[in-house]
Structure 1
Amino acid sequence: MKTNKFLTLAFSFMALLAVTSCVENDDYSVPESQGNEENAALNKLLSKIESGEVELQTITQVKSNFVQYEATQFVSEIAVKGYVSSSDETGNFYKEFFIQDSPTDPTQTLKVVLNQADTYNQFNKGREVYIYLKDLYIGETNTGDDVVTIGGKFDTFDNDVLEMTSNQIPNHLFRSTTTETLMPVELELSDVGEEHIGMFVKLVNVQFPAGLENKPYVDPTDDFDSQRSIESCSDAGSFTLESSTFAAFKNELLPTDGKGSISGIVNKTYDGYDLIINLNTTDDVVMDGFRCDPLFQDSFSAANLDKWTTFSVTGAQEWYYNSFGNPSDSATMNGFASGAQTNEDWLISLPIDLSSVPSAFLSFQTVKRYGGNNLEVFYATDYTGGNPNTDGTWVALAPTLDTNEGSWSSWTDSGSLDLSAAAGGNVFIAFKYTSTSSAASTWEVDNVKISAE
């Protein structure tokens, strides 16, 4: 922690009776107005901001205090304003909400953690919120996840930021009477990045995999969070919808009969490794178009290469199924074994039927690790199963490939590759890997798709 502060934990009977919500009865409608006490507290803060006693900073300025792995206490008289982007009304968020810096075209966000459930009663989606930051903390609730969070305490063991207590909330967290309509940021799956964490976004041109038909949003065998795949109709991209097992919509069936859009909050998995989207409500899932099921697809989720054949021309290493991918599972080739080895290995699809379409397009994703040759990608219509150097007329394609040799997560979309010259019959897709005794990359291939449009 940056600021040394002795924290005294006081447990008493009165603490158990602390009010943790502005609503003290069973009326869970969003209040139309504020109470006198709440108005007075907000007006006092606004007066201090106007006089210059408290500096109103942007979320960008506030986030400049963030240091990964640390809980940093605010010691200056500063405040920040934002608009609530998430909602716990359906139980998919708990004792937390996100704010973004604008109702439209937001650029920055913050996560707020507090010892208050049903926050939508007070801090409903779109509500303008002010946070008086002095003596609060900025950091992460799960150290290392890079989700920048405002809280009231910190854990001395691992520096995790902890919730604002019920006694801190009335002195630091204020809502105005303004509730704005948030306009979601529209994104293709391939455009989602860490800069969108906490934002209300709309993932467009997407659908749930057909294999999820008659499956609910939440797998009944999961204990806490449940993940469902989302696939892009624009490219080979995929993403993950994560829902709490306590969500009110957990038993609703996924809409798999069309394609459309999914609006929600970009977030991280608990371990901080992967980006996900969380729903505020299933009303934000709109599947009103025809499905875009491909002519061929392999995400390697069957844990095998049964849709492919492997042909090793040179070297002992071969293509293999790998449980790691995007988000999991891939076809992988690595020519390194006690040092770089000379290899030429082909991964060739079984025949794919294009007889019913006038045009077709291939897409896939790759990640490259370590220095070495690039993959080569081909298609043929006359391959018969032999050595691909002499069997088949292979036409080279020009995909976009991963160039970041230092990351396992730099998955790169190939772009849409035209196979129309092969339409009307069968086509074979081939990935050719080569390595030398001085350089052997690892290549992972995932989410291979051939579509008619």
Structure 2
Amino acid sequence: MNKTIKSLNLILILIASFAVTSCVQDDDYTIPNSLGDEENYALQELLDTATEVSFDYAKALYNSDPNEDGDTDDAIPYLIENDVYIKGYISSSDRTGNFYKELYIQNSSENPTSAMKVILDQVSNYNQFNKGREVYIKLTDLYIGEERTGSGVYTIGGEPEFDQYGGTVTSLNFNQIAENILRSGTTEEIVPLNLTFAEITDQHVGMFVQVDNIEFADNLNGLQYFDPIEVYDTARTLQSCSGFGYDTFILETSSFADFKAKDLPTGNGSIKAVVSKTFDATSYVLALNSVDDVDMEGPRCSLLDLDDFATLFEEDFEGMSTGSAISSNGWTSYAQVGTYNWRALTTTDTGNPGPGNTIASMGAYGSSTDENIAWLISPAIDLDAQGIEFLNFQSSNSFSDDSELEVLISTDWDGTTANVASATWTTIPAIIAGDDEFYQDWFDSGLINLSSYSGSAGYIAFKYIGGYPSSGDIDGTYEIDNFKILGEN
């Protein structure tokens, strides 16, 4: 009898062992396309009894600075008590070991507009929560906050922890994962969102993106994705040719990534990755799901040579009559709203361009009107006479006080002030002096590529928006100097 019991126990142990090992996902790359009854029932109950909310709604529940003092040490993760859920698609995968105890989800498999992070006390999630899997996250009794205070990365997690830096969410435990993260039987292809380095913002953290025409920095030839002297992560610089210089970004690789010892490609091409942040949240980074998402077999890009360009037009405003609206050298100044307008003034700034120089200036202080909109428009530039053009200028402010300065281009303006507002104007990217900068400092706009615009008459406009209301500070001053258009010889 005892032998029979022992034999039966042994059989049960072997069966249990087989059942446990059959659930291990480390070597099982198949994606389940059907779910167990229990999970199906839980999902159906959620859909029947709870309300779907948007990612942005969930994010808005968390306030990282409740005292509005610019300090996040008072941050308190938000406990969700209502029966609500979000639906999303998983954009990350820990199959290669480059993600650890985290999921990123975005609100659509294609052209997403929002994404969030989920932290969970579970490894090897790539099968259960495979990339592209449609998931429903029951937010009831979970928290919205940050994993690290001040990171700006909206995170779904469990019971918060507090220290001198504020409150942070903790990882979801096994029971919370089973109760709150419910899969459907759908797996979608995650279509990468095409962006440039300059376009990546907080909005894109957690999204699967693609950046084209990039390469690893010149000094990384012969190196691998991971530096063996590092302990946790290695940052490798990506670059893209941008006129006369490079735009750069960071690719971050974990010490646990199975591709860490692979050589970096030496060509130019594209990369598909998830947008994330460094541990201290000071910089955006890209993180690979797989090295298969790197395609850099093309020839490396080449920078432009400044010697190949001539100055098509330049303006330093010297010699203009100071104190009155600018109207010489082909420039147009136009007060669309209010009477204050762009004027040529003599600067007293100690920095570049320096005291005694003439500049273009517009400010609403003392205008006695609630709104001031004033345009300063360049002479016509022939954008068809050469292959590539670049714009460059300098800007400064005198206590800009929430007034705004936009840089615009038009190829259909007829040159009359009557039709300024009705013409088609497109914002062009430029570095402009900000509110918090010292009022005597001047900032270079960078070389702004105009080659995507064509026409025999293109106009560059500086549009000032401000005012002098009885309440509110929108009455600051903006200043422009050393305007220049470069064209390829």
**TM-score bucket of the superposed structures, by smaller chain:** 0.5 to 0.7
**What CA distance in whole angstroms lies between the structure 2 residues aligned with 1:411 and 1:259?**
29
Q: Note the alpha carbon deviations across 1:44-98, whole angstroms, 9 max, x for none.
A: 3323423xx2112121222221211321111111111100001111111100010
Q: Which runs of 4+ in 1 moved over 6 A?
A: 19-22, 358-372, 450-453
- In 1, are the aligned partners of 2:84 and 2:138 still within 8 Å (CA)? yes
**What CA distance in whole angstroms lies between the structure 2 residues aligned with 1:412 and 1:268?**
26
Q: Note the alpha carbon deviations across 1:235-291, whole angstroms, 9 max, x for none.
A: 5421111111221111111111x2111110111111111111111111111113221
Q: Note the alpha carbon deviations across 1:107-134, whole angstroms, 9 max, x for none.
A: 0111010011011011010000111111
Deviation at 1:27, TM superposition (A): 3.5
The alignment status of 1:415 with 2:448, answered yes or no, reads yes
Residue in 1 that maps onto 2:345: none
What letter matches 2:236 in structure 1? Answer: R
Deviation at 1:364, TM superposition (A): 9.6
- In 2, are the aligned partners of 1:231 and 1:237 still within 8 Å (CA)? yes
Deviation at 1:363, TM superposition (A): 9.2
The correspondence for 1:85, drawn from 87, 91, 98, is: 91
Deviation at 1:42, TM superposition (A): 3.6
Residue in 1 that maps onto 2:211: 203
Residue in 1 that maps onto 2:431: 401
Residue in 2 that maps onto 1:30: 30
Residue in 1 that maps onto 2:270: 261
Residue in 1 that maps onto 2:120: 114
Structure 1 residues not aligned, in runs of 5+: 1-18, 298-339, 346-357, 373-397, 419-438, 442-449
Q: Note the alpha carbon deviations across 1:417-438, whole angstroms, 9 max, x for none.
A: 89xxxxxxxxxxxxxxxxxxxx
The alignment status of 1:55 with 2:69, answered yes or no, reads no
Q: Which has the larger radius of gyration?
A: 2
- In 2, are the aligned partners of 1:126 and 1:180 still within 8 Å (CA)? yes
**What CA distance in whole angstroms lies between the structure 2 residues aligned with 1:33 and 1:118?**
18
The alignment status of 1:151 with 2:160, answered yes or no, reads no
Q: Note the alpha carbon deviations across 1:169-196, whole angstroms, 9 max, x for none.
A: 1111111111000110001222111111
The correspondence for 1:237, drawn from 230, 247, 260, is: 247
Residue in 2 that maps onto 1:100: 106
What letter matches 2:45 in structure 1? Answer: S
Residue in 2 that maps onto 1:310: none
Structure 2 residues not aligned, in runs of 5+: 1-18, 65-74, 307-348, 355-385, 401-427, 452-476, 480-485
**What CA distance in whole angstroms lies between the structure 2 residues aligned with 1:411 and 1:280?**
38
Deviation at 1:400, TM superposition (A): 3.7
Q: What is the TM-score with the length of structure 1 in the denominator?
A: 0.63
**What CA distance in whole angstroms lies between the structure 2 residues aligned with 1:451 and 1:254?**
36
Deviation at 1:414, TM superposition (A): 2.8
**What CA distance in whole angstroms lies between the structure 2 residues aligned with 1:21 and 1:134?**
32
* 1:147-296 mapped onto 2 (5 Å cutoff): 147-157=153-163, 158-235=166-243, 236-256=246-266, 258-294=267-303
Q: Note the alpha carbon deviations across 1:137-181, whole angstroms, 9 max, x for none.
A: 110001111100001221132311110011221111111111000
**What CA distance in whole angstroms lies between the structure 2 residues aligned with 1:292 and 1:268?**
27
* 1:111-150 mapped onto 2 (5 Å cutoff): 111-150=117-156
Question: Structure 1 residues 370, 228: closer, same or farther in 2, change over 3 A?
Answer: farther
What letter matches 1:276 in structure 2? Answer: V
What letter matches 2:47 in structure 1? Answer: I
**What CA distance in whole angstroms lies between the structure 1 residues aligned with 2:251 and 2:87?**
29
Determine helix, strand or coil for the equivalent of 2:23: coil
**What CA distance in whole angstroms lies between the structure 2 residues aligned with 1:265 and 1:286?**
15
- In 2, are the aligned partners of 1:141 and 1:162 still within 8 Å (CA)? yes
Deviation at 1:231, TM superposition (A): 1.1
How many residues were matched structurally?
Answer: 322
Q: Note the alpha carbon deviations across 1:340-389, whole angstroms, 9 max, x for none.
A: 846669xxxxxxxxxxxx988779999989869xxxxxxxxxxxxxxxxx
**What CA distance in whole angstroms lies between the structure 2 residues aligned with 1:279 and 1:154?**
29
Question: Structure 1 residues 22, 233: closer, same or farther in 2, change over 3 A?
Answer: farther
Residue in 2 that maps onto 1:64: 60
What letter matches 1:41 in structure 2? Answer: E
**What CA distance in whole angstroms lies between the structure 2 residues aligned with 1:201 and 1:240?**
14
Question: Structure 1 residues 35, 104: closer, same or farther in 2, change over 3 A?
Answer: closer
What letter matches 1:207 in structure 2? Answer: E
Question: Structure 1 residues 252, 48: closer, same or farther in 2, change over 3 A?
Answer: closer
Question: Structure 1 residues 145, 416: closer, same or farther in 2, change over 3 A?
Answer: same
Determine helix, strand or coil for the equivalent of 1:287: strand
**What CA distance in whole angstroms lies between the structure 2 residues aligned with 1:23 and 1:362?**
60
Determine helix, strand or coil for the equivalent of 2:126: helix
**What CA distance in whole angstroms lies between the structure 2 residues aligned with 1:135 and 1:407?**
44
Q: What is the TM-score with the length of structure 2 in the denominator?
A: 0.59
**What CA distance in whole angstroms lies between the structure 2 residues aligned with 1:275 and 1:411?**
24
**What CA distance in whole angstroms lies between the structure 1 residues aligned with 2:155 and 2:214?**
30
Deviation at 1:406, TM superposition (A): 2.4
What letter matches 1:62 in structure 2? Answer: A
